[in-house]
Amino acid sequence: MKQQFFLIGGFFICLFLWTSCVDSDDVGDAYTTFEGQMISNYLDNNTEQFSEFSRLMKQADVYNLLKSYGKYTLFLPTNDALFEYYETAPLDPDTLSMKELKKLIYYHFIDGETNASKAYNTYDFQVGAIPTKNMVGRYLYTNFENLQWHINETVNIVDGDLEMVNGIVHVIDQVLKGNDDLLPELIESDGQYTLYAEALKATGLWDKMLLIEDESYVQPKTLPNGAPMSQRDKYPDSKKYGWTALLETDSILALHGIEDLDDMRAYAKEVYGKLGKSDVDDERDPQNSLNHFVAYHFIPAFVTTDIFVTTYGYVSEHDWFGRKEDICYDGKYTIEQYWPTLAPGTLIQCQKGNLINTTRNPFVEPGLANSNDVIRFIHAESNKDCQNGIVHTLNRLMAYDDYVEYQVLHRRLRMELRTFLPELITNDVIAFGNKYNQWHRYIPEGYCENLEFKEERPSVYMVYHAANVHHYLYGDELEGNGFFDVTFKIGPIPAGKYEVRFGYHVSPGSRGITQIYFDDQPCGIPVDMRLSALSGDIGWQQDYYMIENYNGAQLARNAPYNTEDPYGFENDKSIRNRNFMKAPDSYVGTNWRNDYGHYFGTARNSALDLRYILGTYTFTENTTHSLRFVQMLSGNCLFDYIEFMPVDLLNEEDQH
């Protein structure tokens, strides 16, 4: 079949993908006829296979969807698949309500046009979630086995990549359906996580994860400037709750001597004690050892395996980048991300390849992603989703122990500020891929628990722009506009002494002057984010290594340099004395390649990208902190990332 022809190639080609979804029943009354075959033509010409799906769509009065222009991906069940579903469910499709019938139909559609994405061929697939949700707001998951792509583990694509004028059709042999459980119910009913189900009830965490949606949220009717909303510019459609569970199965727990709830209690107490924590008896108290152990396995956001670590923009991920040998394989370069959990004072570290809580580096140990020596996902047993959450299965026991706190997390912690806004991930505000100038999402006042600001229309507001061609961390932008006063609750951060820095991007034509506060204390004088590193007395110089080997002067518009300081080590020390640092060399935007043909520069070589040193602080406990920005001169501010660098590691810090 044609689908088989593309399968193997599709398995090995990795593309940057786009994500998010907007539910809609509006398929319109008018449609345009194009040359070529519409999806409706395909169904009409193959009634012996697809007449039942056509009948359901006509019964739901949505058949015009197949005749309208768009970028649809349709996973099309055969007549046999539908009739088998009716028998095994069991159900009579003619007794379904209109809402139920549309849900059954729309579960098989992805609307690429509405979501600024595309129609998906099999060569776009990767193991994990298809980046754009289906038309009922649920992810579909792909895996590759026996030279064939499967959807949601068991559904086979029997004829794929059928290209139509308005989309792509994949014929499937079963009906797609979702799990309507709540997360604790899914964990209990799965059968592999019975100890965690018991522990959730014992600790009261079960009750914390029964919410689906905040019904009090009302989407604003217009944009801050009064303009109507569009698919490009809008506020979130809803405010849903979501959690991610990282769980070991009962059989994995048994390998560690945990066979019942008392065993789990004993193990948790031992781990908690080694951290020097004072245990409490009430298992519903977050300071109880069992509660802490279980809560550490839950992240308060809906996160599929393919977005657990954002790799967009990192130099190792660009095929065209010419200095990978210089940067990526020194044992210090890595791609990692940190996730706050439901356990107070804790973070999960995750590296590229979904390696969890390890000091080992996959860039110098290429086989680590498939090793059982480190904690990682079992992909065949992950991405089990339901109405308000998702479960990923771990291959080894995970705990917040002394190794995690004192070794794994004793490093430079670099976190984009969206890390602390899980609502933006759960509700598809964040776009994981390049949707340059196609995805602007305004953030309502009070929408995020860890973000405090007051919207004052038309000039003071918060907005998120999807990843683009510029050299920001992850490529995207979280911005405040106007005379704003914005406070983020960040962390938690392990106890210790740190140098704290804020990473930002200069924009002479749009930025303002911003006073930054950390834990309510002002951090020096206001920062003028209109001025590049070549302005004033910062003293920024281009690394002479770039000048000598890669025409690097042009990367910073003929910046000064020092022939006796080829790698910029002395210049780094000099600008640190003025509370500034160059940006890391670990990421770069595609604009330098697109505009100038330079394949060697990184954000470090840009005079528009800086880190501002907020100060040195000592934290006596693992807790959250406040990061406040007050705009002194109207303009916008890119809230890019924050770094916590242990002071005892400063002398050995790399440039990544």
295-311 pLDDT, tens per residue? 999 999 999 999 999 99
Mark 543-558 as b/e (b = at least 16 C-beta within 10 Å).
Answer: bbbbbeebebbbbbee
What's residue 596's pLDDT? 60
- Residue 130 confidence (pLDDT): 92
pLDDT-above-90 percentage for the chain: 79
Q: Coil, strand, or helix at residue 20?
A: coil
Count, residues in the chain = 656
CA atoms of 47 and 64, how far apart (whole Å): 17
Taking 90 as the threshold, does the pLDDT of residue 368 lie above it? yes
Type and span of the H or E element at 443: strand 440-443
Q: Are 51 and 24 in contact (CB under 8 A)?
A: no
Q: Which residue has the tokens 């976190």?
A: 415
The whole-number average pLDDT for the span 112-116 is 86
Residue 17 has pLDDT above 70, yes or no: no
- Per residue in 267-303, pLDDT (tens digit) is 999 999 999 888 999 999 999 999 999 999 999 999 9
pLDDT (tens digit per residue) in 515-562: 999 999 999 999 999 999 998 889 999 999 888 887 655 666 678 999
Per-residue tokens: 367? 């086989």
The model's confidence at residue 146, banded by pLDDT at 50, 70 and 90, is confident
Q: What is the mean pLDDT of the chain?
A: 91
The DSSP code for 543 is -
Q: How do residues 61-87 score in pLDDT, each as one tens digit?
A: 999 989 988 999 999 999 999 999 999
pLDDT at 15 over 50: no
Alpha carbons 275 and 252: distance in angstroms, whole number:
24
Residue of higher predicted confidence among 470 and 386: 386
Sketch out the chain's domains with CATH numbers: 2-172 (2.30.180.10), 185-210+241-408 (2.30.180.10), 413-652 (2.60.120.260)
- Predicted TM-score of the model (pTM): 0.89
What band does 94 get if pLDDT is binned at 50, 70 and 90?
very high
User: Residue 505 pairs with which residues in a beta bridge?
Assistant: 609
* pLDDT of 153: 85
Structure confidence at residue 433 as a pLDDT band (50, 70, 90) = confident
* CB distance 654 to 425 below 8 Å: no
Nearest to 351 by CA among 334, 339, 330: 334
**Confidence bin at 348 (pLDDT 50/70/90):** very high
Cα–Cα distances (Å) from 238 to 137, 213, 462, 520, in that order, read 11, 8, 17, 32
Do residues 220 and 307 make contact, with C-beta atoms less than 8 angstroms apart? Answer: no
Lookup: tokens for 327: 């940067």
